Structure formats: C-alpha cells, structure tokens
Amino acid sequence: MLSSHGLASGTSARSAGRAPAAALRYARLCSARTHSRSSRLAAAAVAAERLDAQVCVVLGTQWGDEGKGKLVDILAQQYDIVARAQGGANAGHTIYDDAGNKYALHLVPSGILNRNSTCVIGNGVVLHLPGLFEEIENLKKKGVSVEGRLKISDRAHLLFDLHKEIDGLREAELAGTGKQIGTTKRGIGPAYSSKATRNGLRVCDLHKLDTFADKLRKLSMDGEKRFGAGFSYDVEGDIEKYQELARKVLPFVTDTVEYLHTAYDDGKRILIEGANATMLDVDFGTYPYVTSSNPSIGGIATGLGLPPTKYDAVVGVVKAYTTRVGSGPYPTEIFGDLAEGLREIGREYGTTTGRPRRIGWMDIVALRYSCKINGLTHLNITKLDVLSELDEIKVGVAYKTPDGQMLRSVPADLETLENVEVVYETLPGWKSDISAVRDWKDMPQAAKDYVQRMEDLIGIHCKWIGVGPGRDALVVKPSMGKC
Ligand code: GDP
C-alpha cells in the first residue's frame, strides 16, 4: 500500500523538514506584492526577444502545476496561434494580465489573453462543453472575447457528465483500499476510456443530432450496466441540453489538422501549450497514479496532427522545487513545517480543485528522465522566488535502492520507487527577496549558482527564470553555462 510517508525513504528528506520561521514572514511579504508593477515594459522586453522557433512546444516536466500558463501567456505575444493538444479541464493554468487581473483557465488555451492569437483546442483534448461555455462566459465578463479566435477540432472527444459520474464512482470503489488515484473527478479518465473503447462521441457527431442521441444512450447504458443503481445520469436531459450546446459550439468547430498545416505553410507561428506533465503521463509517469493522456511530446503530435519534425523548440517548465497533487510515489517529498511554509509561500493549492499540493525538493533523476523523453531544447525554471528565505536548498541527484544499487533513471515499478533513498546535494540559499530582479546580472550569486547547478546537472539551457507570478517577473539567462 502506498502511504505518503512510505514514499520519501531518503532520511535526508525527512530531516530536512524543519521549519524556517522566516518562510512564513516571507509568505506575508509575497501576498502583499502587486503583480502589475512595470509589467507592460517588462513583458514587452521579453516579447522583444523573439524566440527563433516557428513552432514552439511548452511542456510540464514534473507532476504538473509548474507554471506553464505564465510562460505560454508571455510567449503567446510572439505567436499567431496557441494550441492545446491533450487533457481536459483537469489542467488549470493561472495567469495574470498586465493589470494584475487573475484568470484561471481550464480548457481555453492561455493564448486567449493575447488578442492577436487564435486559440486551437486539438483532437487530443477531451471536451466538456458546459464547462467550456462557463469558461468562455467568465472570460467575457472580464472583457476577453473568444469570437473568431477559438477553433475546436471536429475530432476532439466529448466529455459528458456521465464521465464525471463514473470518475466519482470509480474513486469511491477504491476508497479505503489505498489505491485511489486522487483524480480531479472531472471525468477525464472515463472520457479517454470511452475513446479507447471506441464508443465515445466526438465533436463532429454534433452535426447529426439523431445519431448523437442514439450514441449517447448507448454510452449511458454501458455505465448503467457497469455501476447499476449507483449510476445516476439523466441521459434524456443531457440529449436535450446538447441540442442547444451543438448550436453554440458548431461555429467554432474546424478541421484543425488542415487549419494548422495551412497556417504553418503560410509562415504562421504556432505555440503549443502542454497540460499536466511528464511524470503524470499514462505511459511514462508513476502509473497508475497518472493522468489518462500523454502530456509528453508524443501526445502533442497525436493531439494536434502536427508532426515532431516541425517543432523548432521544446521548452520544459520546471518548478525550482517540486509539487504533486493526489496519490503516488514522490521520492523527494518534504513533510512538516518546511513543506507547509513552502506551500503557503508558493500558494500551492490546485487551480481546479483547491487541494493542497504535496511539496518536495527538486528531483534531478525525474527531471533528466523527463528531458530525455521530451527532447527539450530549453528550460524555464519557475518559482525560484519561493525558495528565497531558505538557509539551504536540497537537490535530489540520485536514487539508491535499499541494497545499495544506484539507479540511473526512474524505475517503472512503484514499489522500487517508493523504497529508494534519495541522494541529495545541498546548496546555500540566497536569503534575499529576488522578486524585483529582472536582469540576470542582478541575481544574487547563490541564486545564480542554483540555476547554474540545474543547468550542469541537466545539460539544457535554463533560459527563463520565474521570480514571481506576474507576467513581468521573469529573468532571462543570456546563454548556457556560466555567465
Ligand atoms: P500550470 O498549470 O503549470 O500553469 O501551473 P499553475 O497555474 O497551476 O500554477 C502556477 C502558479 O504559480 C500560478 O498561480 C502562477 O501565477 C504562479 N507562478 C508561475 N510562475 C511563478 C513564479 O516564478 N513565481 C511565483 N511565485 N509564482 C509563479
């Protein structure tokens, strides 16, 4: 059975769980910050440094919530199209506009805040239409219109309330067994199951509402057979609702494969926004404690129909520490006051569910594995500011099995992973607020050394360093290696 305490077998992780009282003071400091200071100027400066990549992919490299939305939002200013390839409303991006307004996006690509971008929801996404329109309404209330700027794949699978119902019932069945996945209960897994079982419904089915109704009834009968009286879903009510939803969504529906390829051939710049992250990938993550799609590079190709030969840059977003929501092994997990302090400073609560995130040190073994799988060209380290008050910072650099074997990579077997001892390096903290730093040369030396160590361990340029939640709170490291 997996218990969170069983996960961090490295004693150094536990002994590192002491409280920095200063951390909580720093949390107050952070929450008092405003996000809008000089953001236009700084965002413009970042935008001015145009990334030399017609197609750029941004991926989460850890367990999600790395802060992908912020980089996508910043880069979107340089791109004509911003596309989502996989996942559903379980992915939440929190971004702030120039005025400091907060937006929590779940299905709509983060590029929507850049009025010049067109957003694409690709075929690999599972789409809950009522949720999508709620999000669109919320954006409208904040003055952001999607009209003419949102394209939805006709091949995307629809996620119905019945999938949410099944998600809840499956988690309930696992309750008390220690095997609950800890899903967001948004129906994502069941929707991908329907897709793989080949009884799912796609956006293009909304063109023929008679056959749509028949297919949905069949899908509902499947749920009834599997879960009996516990299955509560008003299929006829939903069929009725989808008459109206079909009318609303069809103006956005496009053959996005054709759209993207034509745009590419016309020289348009395309930014692809990953959701979730590699350590939650259904193939490469800590299965079964994973999401149901491929948030790594392969899922981008299958979720959009734009092949990997067209990707010029693949940026991995890496939090300066780690977090994870839900169950599953987490070797560098930190417990106690230190974890609580970092959770408060980093505001580590789920965008979608509000659940407190588990907290851990940087895990280089997992990150290297993720870099290999994704073929990353650049890294964006986020939330470096969150570590600012720590005396020392640990970095997990290797896994050791109980019989003393050093593991080169993340093992597939969860029991092996649960029992590894993490070998840590300890780096000095910089003990000063870096949230106002905007230029690499103004970074405290210890913060530079921390980033440099990441680069040395991973071998990929840490080009962008996040020092706060705002659009402006970004430092560009000019080149790879010491500078
Ligand atoms: P995503 O799903 O990967 O986009 O991540 P989330 O949006 O769930 O979480 C990222 C959170 O971190 C958001 O609230 C961001 O505003 C915030 N964030 C992003 N980058 C930074 C950073 O460099 N420092 C701080 N303090 N917060 C950041």
Residue-wise pLDDT for 339-351, tens only, equals 999 999 999 997 6
Of the chain, the percentage scoring pLDDT greater than 90 comes to: 74
Ligand 1 atom with minimal separation from the 351 CA: 8
Angle at alpha carbon of residue 258, lines to 250 and 304, rounded to 5°: 85
Q: What is the pLDDT of residue 21?
A: 43
Query: What average pLDDT does this structure show over 54-68?
Result: 95
Q: What is the pLDDT of residue 278?
A: 97
d(CA 12, ligand 1 centre) in Å: 27
pLDDT digits (tens, 9 = 90+) for 379-393: 999 999 999 999 999
Q: Identify the structural domains of the chain with CATH numbers, from first to last.
A: 13-154+255-476 (3.90.170.10), 157-253 (1.10.300.10)
Q: State yes or no: 283 annotated in a binding site.
A: no
> Taking CB atoms and a 6 Å cutoff, what residues make up the pocket around ligand 1?
60, 65-70, 92-94, 347, 351, 382-383, 385-386, 466-469, 473
- pLDDT confidence tier of residue 99, bands split at 50, 70 and 90: confident
d(CA 75, ligand 1 centre) in Å: 15
Query: What average pLDDT does this structure show over 62-90?
Result: 92
**Ligand 1 atom 17, closest CA:** 469
Q: Give the predicted TM-score (pTM) of the model.
A: 0.89
How is residue 232 written in tokens? Answer: 């509560």
Is the per-residue pLDDT at 23 higher than 50?
no
pLDDT digits (tens, 9 = 90+) for 298-349: 999 999 999 999 999 999 999 999 999 888 899 999 999 999 999 999 999 9
What distance in Å separates the CA atoms of residue 439 and residue 37, rounded to the nearest whole number? 15
Q: What is the pLDDT of residue 19?
A: 38
Least confident of 42-46, 80-84, 108-112, 259-263: 42-46
- pLDDT confidence tier of residue 183, bands split at 50, 70 and 90: low
Q: State yes or no: 414 annotated in a binding site.
A: no
**Ligand 1 atom 27, closest CA:** 469
Query: What average pLDDT does this structure show over 129-145?
Result: 94
- pLDDT confidence tier of residue 33, bands split at 50, 70 and 90: very low
Q: What is the pLDDT of residue 386?
A: 98
Query: What average pLDDT does this structure show over 269-283?
Result: 96
Ligand 1 atom with minimal separation from the 92 CA: 2
| Ligand 1 pocket mutation pick from 94, 107, 384 by most atoms within 8 angstroms of CB | 94
Strand positions, DSSP E, 283-420: 313-319, 322-324, 333-334, 358-360, 362-363, 378-382, 392-400, 406-407
**Ligand 1 atom 10, closest CA:** 67
How is residue 358 written in tokens? Answer: 């588990």
Buried/exposed 324-339: b ≥16 CB within 10 Å, e otherwise:
bbbbbbbbbbbbeebb
Q: What is the pLDDT of residue 36?
A: 43
How is residue 436 written in tokens? Answer: 């106002």
d(CA 463, ligand 1 centre) in Å: 17
The chain-wide mean pLDDT, for the chain, equals: 88
CB 295 within 8 A of CB 86: yes
Q: What is the pLDDT of residue 29?
A: 37
What distance in Å separates the CA atoms of residue 262 and residue 276, rounded to the nearest whole number? 28
Q: What is the pLDDT of residue 184?
A: 67
Q: State yes or no: 69 annotated in a binding site.
A: yes
Ligand 1 atom with minimal separation from the 470 CA: 16
Q: State yes or no: 101 annotated in a binding site.
A: no
d(CA 250, ligand 1 centre) in Å: 33
**Ligand 1 atom 8, closest CA:** 65
How is residue 220 written in tokens? Answer: 């509902």
Place of tokens 């991006």: 93
Q: What is the pLDDT of residue 375?
A: 97
| Ligand 1 pocket mutation pick from 102, 383, 450, 474 by most atoms within 8 angstroms of CB | 383
CB 359 within 8 A of CB 323: yes
Ligand 1 atom with minimal separation from the 96 CA: 16
- pLDDT confidence tier of residue 11, bands split at 50, 70 and 90: very low
Least confident of 74-83, 176-185, 188-197, 366-375: 176-185
Q: Which residues are catalytic?
A: 65, 93, 195
Query: What average pLDDT does this structure show over 132-154?
Result: 94
**Ligand 1 atom 26, closest CA:** 468
Q: What is the pLDDT of residue 441?
A: 96
- pLDDT confidence tier of residue 291, bands split at 50, 70 and 90: very high
Query: What average pLDDT does this structure show over 248-274?
Result: 97
| Ligand 1 pocket mutation pick from 382, 438, 471 by most atoms within 8 angstroms of CB | 382
Q: State yes or no: 351 annotated in a binding site.
A: yes
Is the per-residue pLDDT at 352 higher than 70?
no
Residue 199 identity (one-letter amino acid) = N
Contacts of 384 (CB under 8 A, 6+ apart): 320, 434, 447, 450, 451, 465, 466, 467
d(CA 402, ligand 1 centre) in Å: 36
d(CA 474, ligand 1 centre) in Å: 12
Angle at alpha carbon of residue 348, lines to 344 and 351, rounded to 5°: 135
d(CA 242, ligand 1 centre) in Å: 35
How is residue 65 written in tokens? Answer: 């919530």
Q: What is the pLDDT of residue 450?
A: 97
Q: State yes or no: 168 annotated in a binding site.
A: no
Q: State yes or no: 256 annotated in a binding site.
A: no
**Ligand 1 atom 6, closest CA:** 65
Is the per-residue pLDDT at 296 higher than 90?
yes
